[in-house]
Structure 1
């Protein structure tokens, strides 16, 4: 009975998610509804931008689980960003909403909230700091050593590839920043030989007195920016997702898939 109640609650919450309407020209063009969609070879790693979230996928994940991953992250990203557009004033609520919607989609989470963060370097880029946070999340996940190495390597390769992938990078920039603040997450996911899907995630929110033109690769210093961070480990409950799949797909079908882009790494 409790499981039934949780599933029904998830369906209702998913149906009530407000994803908003994207006003960017490259998103509203009907020919761009699914930016750079492509099949991902199961023998090769994959990468995608879903709103303000960058996801890398270790080789070997089934197409079905990749689709679950894409749809879950996209729904969570859009729902959180629509509800809390101002990442300066609502950083904590944005992250909490993201994780809550992931839970509705069947992702068991060991999330901790956003906390203040200060780089150990005088000058740094946000991609460097986000990868450090992700690495900490991977270590906390306590997966086998080779898997941990792959999760971090694929994430680094993804960020490197994103830097030269114009449309996905533009999509990410548009979704993640305002003039003087930004929020985003970097995640890396893998599927075990017995079909369990796990994902490590690092989230970053930062506020500055400067206009932000480049979220990931601009060089900052500690005096000019205030940062919050969070790390998380998630495990997919496939049975739960199957029970809410129709609700997720119906919500995304309304207007949201134009905020998804895949690219090679």
Structure 2
């Protein structure tokens, strides 16, 4: 690990990781950002191999979190429920941001940091629509399956060096008419939508022992399924 990768970065950023968006707050080191992306992709691929998202969305999410735990993440809280709003239909962007805020509140108890994590999620979604290359990578998986588990996560690194993540995962059926639009513009009430949340903290020392193995197993997939973009 070089000195540069240990330096806190001044700007916030986001990344497409498979079918998820990860937002990173300013002050997080380059090494930790990379470790978060790789561990997240690794856990996603492990869960994909074990469970079908269409029929076993909750089991998929549980196994994803189990794989995250193996990579050094501690899960403080998780939920899984059907997302609905009797008053009016919701855009998936709202469902996703709310899920991140729920996870952040359970981990941090409220306050400006929770608001910041929600804002990072909003910026990640907004920034995706402005980056054609990242959007193309993100939507690629939609053309391969009729059902998707889409994640939105916000990460920060505290002054004490602790990395925390607030994660919202949205599972729903993909309609043909949805494929040519930005996913987060979809109406959540046009098909059954399930919302999962998780609050996690990262033990970087545990992951450091597994880093080489994770990177080796990911291989070229870490390059082809991860893309950074500005927010």
Change (3 A) 1:157 1:183: same
Could you tell me which residue of structure 2 aligns to residue 71 of structure 1? 38
Change (3 A) 1:238 1:48: same
Match of 2:211, SS state, is helix
Of 42-51 and 102-111, the range deviating more from structure 2: 102-111
Q: 1:202 aligns with which of 168, 186, 189?
A: 168
Given that 1:181 and 1:212 are in contact with CA atoms closer than 8 Å, whether structure 2 keeps it comes out as: no
Which TM-score applies when normalising by structure 2? 0.87
Does residue 146 of structure 1 match 2:112?
yes
Match of 2:228, SS state, is strand
5+ long unaligned stretches in structure 2: 1-6
Q: 1:158 aligns with which of 107, 111, 124?
A: 124
How many pairs does the alignment contain?
224
Given that 1:83 and 1:94 are in contact with CA atoms closer than 8 Å, whether structure 2 keeps it comes out as: yes
Match of 2:184, SS state, is coil
Given that 1:122 and 1:221 are in contact with CA atoms closer than 8 Å, whether structure 2 keeps it comes out as: no
Q: 2:102 aligns with which of 132, 136, 153?
A: 136
5+ long unaligned stretches in structure 1: 1-39
Equivalent positions of 1:40-189 (< 5 A) are 42-84=9-51, 86-142=52-108, 145-176=111-142, 180-189=146-155
Match of 1:247, SS state, is helix
Stretches (4+) displaced over 4 A: 176-179, 208-211
Shift of 1:109: 0.7
Encode CA deviations 1:67-107: one digit per residue, 9 max, x unaligned: 111111121122223443x4221212221221111111100
Given that 2:96 and 2:168 are in contact with CA atoms closer than 8 Å, whether structure 1 keeps it comes out as: yes
Shift of 1:114: 2.5
Change (3 A) 1:208 1:216: closer
Shift of 1:208: 6.0
- Structure 1 or 2, whichever has the larger Rg, is 1
